[in-house]
Amino acid sequence: MSPYIMDWLNLLIRWFHLIVGIGWIGASFYFVALDFSLKKRKKMKDGVLGTVWEVHGGGFYHTEKYMVAPAELPKDLIWYKWEAYLTWASGIALMIVQFYWHADIWMVDANVLDIAPQTAIVYSVLSLTAGWFIYDALCKSDIGNNTPLLMLITFFLILGASYFYTHVFSARASLIHVGAFIGTIMAANVFSIIIPNQKKIVASLLKGDKPDARYGKIGKQRSIHNTYLTLPVLVMMVSGHYPMLTNHPQAWLLVGLVIVGGGALRHMIIRHEIHAPFKGYAWTFPVIFVALAVAMYMTSPVMKVVSGDVDVMSDKQLMVMINTHCASCHAITPTHENFDVPPKNVVLNSAASIAKFRDLIMSNVVDADTMPLGNETEMSDEERVQLGAWLLAQE
Ligand code: HEC
């Protein structure tokens, strides 16, 4: 398929993924905040647990929450499920278009692990599936009743997955996979637990029985898990733009910090939204701060090249290096089969154009090895140091 068609497919699926993802996250945060905002009032209908008054977009809204369910099933019940299903489905479609399609350059990096592209795809599919089954079994076991223990084990499960991905896939593919691993658990929570339990409640209502409150409780547990995982997933999904994260030798530890910091941030946002007493969630601030500080410290740039260390090569030698390692993609008309326009508009056809992208080349090629993509042209560490010295001399 032509790179032009692939780019359009990629863009349209990505746009769709964002739209439904925003819908999913928005609804999920809204309902958690709604739950916390419920107040018991003097005049409430039978079976109502609490109500909320809200104002938005020029109107006032009065929402009631029923304990388990209303006595009669409303005909026009709105289900919130397609946001989750479509976010997951479009995420997988994007995974195929962006990564599986050209797994040789996007997923495999021989310096990490020399595997066949097909093997990488098999690892990806199997690990994403296994993640859900392990997590679901944990929740259903006795551990499921012990929230702190469940949290801890789930945390280590994700950390383990991160270790696996960062030691098997290219940097570009690894943290995105952590995001997909968590996202799959979240979507499967909706698909296999939250909605089916809700349907059981509806079914017993239709039969005229009293629905079992347990189903609602189990659904709520998974729904709360989902909101804590949401914010870290977002960092994983944009991680590809930040080689300081994806190419860090201990990127899997950074994932741990993102989960701790992002989870605490979720806690803080919801408490703040519902005007909870500050004392109750003040602890989230130091947690977020420490997680962020450690992550920033870990990723602080290690100067691989210091001016004066290495002789600076001539512009002619530079062009030979760039033509060998970069020009197949970063030319006005790339010769690489997967590209017909220069990626990210980065054209490297003269010393001046290379100097123009100095900082980006420094972070992607010298400090990290994000480029050449998948190290397809086998650029050596010495060459990277030489390139760094040339870039440093351009100040
Ligand atoms: C196989 C094709 C290929 C080769 C070879 C390649 N690149 Fe890239 N480069 C890409 C793609 C694709 C992107 C866009 C990545 C993305 O979507 O984030 C990119 C992006 C970049 C960026 C922009 C990064 C950013 O964050 O905006 C720079 C700078 C860059 N490449 C430099 C280089 C240099 C220098 C070399 C040679 C040492 C090189 N590339 C070799 C495909 C390649």
Atom of ligand 1 nearest to the CA of 377: 5
Ligand 1 neighbour 328 (Cβ under 6 A): yes
Long-range contacts of 156-165 (CB under 8 A, 24+ apart): 157/131, 158/182, 158/255, 158/259, 159/252, 159/255, 159/256, 159/259, 161/127, 161/131, 162/251, 162/252, 162/255, 162/256, 163/252, 164/127, 165/127, 165/252
Q: What confidence tens digit (pLDDT) does each residue in 169-190 have?
A: 999 999 999 999 999 999 999 9
Check residue 46 and give its pLDDT. 85
Q: What confidence tens digit (pLDDT) does each residue in 66-114 have?
A: 877 888 888 898 989 999 999 999 999 999 999 999 999 899 998 899 9
Residue 376 has pLDDT above 80, yes or no: yes
Decide: residue 7, CB within 10 A, 0-12 exposed, 13-18 middle, 19+ buried: middle
Q: Kindly report the protein residue whose alpha carbon is nearest to atom 1 of ligand 1.
A: 373
Burial 77-104 (b: 16+ CB within 10 A, else e): eeebeebbebbbbbbbbbbebbbbbbbe
* Residue partners of 96: CB distance under 8 A and separation at least 6: none
Alpha carbon of 324 to ligand 1 centroid (Å): 14
Ligand 1 neighbour 361 (Cβ under 6 A): yes
Ligand 1 neighbour 336 (Cβ under 6 A): yes
Q: What confidence tens digit (pLDDT) does each residue in 90-101 have?
A: 999 999 999 999
Mean pLDDT of 126-143: 97
Q: Kindly report the protein residue whose alpha carbon is nearest to atom 7 of ligand 1.
A: 372
Residue 303 has pLDDT above 80, yes or no: no
Ligand 1 neighbour 119 (Cβ under 6 A): no
